[in-house]
C-alpha cells in the first residue's frame, strides 16, 4: 500500500504543506512540535488556545531562518471586523512575524457578516496573511463558500463518526465548482478523533478495540477529498502517535469497514452526536 505524499498543495491557496497538521492548543511542548516539523509537519494551527509550546516553537524556527517553511494559521472567532484585525495584529507581534499564512474565520455556519468579511479581505490586501479559511458545522454551507473567490481553504469536521460531508459537502461542491469553472479550495479535516470518543474503550461496541490516534488521522487522509488532517496532541507521546499516521499510510478496505462500524455505533449510541452542533 502506498504512503501519503510528503507534500500536498492546499487547493487554491497554493500553500505547499504536509498532509498532517498540528494544533498547538492542547499542551504539546516546544521540543515535540519541533520534532514534528522535522518530520515534515509544517501546517501549524495556532488557534484560540495559543499555548506556549507552539508560540516558542514558532519563534525558534523563525529565528533559525525557517519562517518560509512554516504555514501558520491564526484563528479568529471575533464578530467585529475592527476587533478581529486588532487581535490578529497582536498575535503576529507575539510570534514575532509580520504575517500569517492563513486567517481562519471560526464557526460561521451561514456566512460571515459583511463587516467581518470585508475586514478580512482588507487584511489580506495589507499582507497580514495569505489565505482565508472558514470553519462551520453546517456542511452544505461549504458549497456556497467554495463558489466564492473569497475563501481559499475550508476547515471541515470529518471523522468515522461524522461522515456526512461525504454526502452534503464533497459531491455537491465538485458539481458546483465544475459548473462555475473554479478550482477547489483546500480542505482541512478537524476533530478526527471525534473529541476522543473513537479512542475510548467505553464508547466502542463490546469486543471491539478502539481506534488509535494514528487510525483516526489515516481515516481522514485516506479520503481523496481531504488535503490535510488536523491533530491536537497533548504531549510528546501523542505527537509520536500522530506521526505514525504518516508512516502507516492509507487505510485498507478492512480497516475502513471497521472504523466506520465503530463510528456508526458511537453515532447511534452517543446522545451528543445528535446535538445541534454535532450532526452526523
Contact 228, 22 (CB under 8 A): no
Q: What predicted TM-score, i.e. pTM, was given to this entire model?
A: 0.95
**Whole-number pLDDT of residue 280:** 65
Does residue 278 carry a pLDDT above 50? Answer: no
The pLDDT-based confidence of 279 (bands split at 50, 70, 90) is low
CATH fold of 18-273 reads TIM Barrel (3.20.20)
The C-alpha cell at 224 is: 481523496
Contact 43, 17 (CB under 8 A): yes
**Whole-number pLDDT of residue 272:** 66
pLDDT tens readout for residues 185-230: 999 999 999 999 999 999 999 999 999 999 999 999 999 999 999 9
Does residue 267 carry a pLDDT above 70? Answer: yes
List all residues 6 or more positions away from 83 whose beta carbon is below 8 Å from its beta carbon.
none
pLDDT tens readout for residues 138-183: 999 999 999 998 999 999 999 999 999 999 999 999 999 999 999 9
* CA gap 97, 43 in Å, rounded: 16
Does residue 277 carry a pLDDT above 60? Answer: no
pLDDT tens readout for residues 175-186: 999 999 999 999
Does residue 276 carry a pLDDT above 70? Answer: no
Return mean pLDDT, the chain.
95
- Torsion on CA atoms 137, 143, 146, 149, rounded to nearest 10: -110
3-state secondary structure the chain: CCCCCCCEECECCCCEECCEEEECCCCCCHHHHHHHHHCCCCEEEECCCCCHHHHHHHHHHHHCCCHHHCEEEEEECCCCHHHHHHHHHHHHHHHCCCCEEEEEECCCCCCCCHHHHHHHHHHHHCCCEEEEEEEECCCCHHHHHHHCCCCCEEEEECCCCCCCHHHHCHHHHHHHHHHHCCCCEEEEEECCCCCCHHHCCCCCCCCCCCCCHHHHHHHHHCCCCCCEEEECCCCHHHHHHHHHHHHHCCCCHHHHHHHHHHHHHHHHHCHHHHCCCCCC
pLDDT tens readout for residues 5-38: 999 999 999 999 999 999 998 999 999 999 999 9
Contact 228, 189 (CB under 8 A): yes
pLDDT tens readout for residues 52-92: 999 999 999 999 999 999 999 999 999 999 999 999 999 99
**Whole-number pLDDT of residue 72:** 98
The pLDDT-based confidence of 273 (bands split at 50, 70, 90) is low
* CA gap 179, 183 in Å, rounded: 11
**38-52, 96-110, 119-133, 254-268: which range is least confident on average?**
38-52
Amino acid at each position: 500500500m502506498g504512503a501519503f505524499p510528503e507534500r500536498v498543495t492546499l487547493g487554491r491557496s497554493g500553500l505547499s504543506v504536509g498532509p498532517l497538521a498540528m494544533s498547538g492548543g492542547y499542551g504539546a511542548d516546544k521540543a515535540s512540535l519541533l520534532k514534528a516539523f522535522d518530520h515534515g509537519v509544517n501546517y501549524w494551527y495556532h488557534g484560540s488556545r495559543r499555548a506556549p509550546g507552539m508560540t516558542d516553537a514558532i519563534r525558534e524556527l523563525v529565528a533559525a531562518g525557517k519562517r518560509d517553511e512554516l504555514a501558520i494559521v491564526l484563528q479568529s472567532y471575533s464578530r467585529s471586523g475592527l476587533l478581529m484585525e486588532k487581535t490578529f495584529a497582536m498575535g503576529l507581534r507575539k510570534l514575532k512575524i509580520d504575517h500569517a499564512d492563513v486567517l481562519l474565520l471560526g464557526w460561521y455556519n451561514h456566512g460571515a457578516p459583511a463587516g467581518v468579511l470585508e475586514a478580512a479581505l482588507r487584511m489580506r490586501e495589507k499582507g497580514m496573511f495569505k489565505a482565508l479559511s472558514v470553519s462551520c458545522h453546517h456542511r452544505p454551507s461549504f458549497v456556497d463558500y467554495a463558489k466564492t473567490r473569497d475563501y481559499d481553504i475550508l476547515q471541515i469536521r470529518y471523522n468515522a463518526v461524522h461522515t456526512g460531508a461525504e454526502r452534503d459537502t464533497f459531491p455537491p461542491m465538485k458539481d458546483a465548482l465544475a459548473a462555475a469553472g473554479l478550482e477547489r479550495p483546500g480542505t482541512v479535516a478537524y476533530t478526527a478523533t471525534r473529541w476522543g470518543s473513537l479512542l475510548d474503550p467505553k464508547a466502542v461496541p463490546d469486543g471491539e478495540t478502539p481506534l488509535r490516534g494514528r487510525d483516526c488521522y489515516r481515516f481522514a487522509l485516506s479520503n481523496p477529498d481531504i488535503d490535510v488532517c488536523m491533530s491536537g496532541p497533548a504531549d510528546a507521546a501523542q505527537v509520536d502517535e500522530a506521526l505514525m499516521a504518516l508512516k502507516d499510510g492509507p487505510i485498507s478496505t478492512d480497516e475502513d469497514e471497521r472504523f466506520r462500524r465503530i463510528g456508526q455505533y458511537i453515532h447511534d449510541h452517543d446522545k451528543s452526536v445528535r446535538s445541534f452542533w454535532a450532526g452526523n
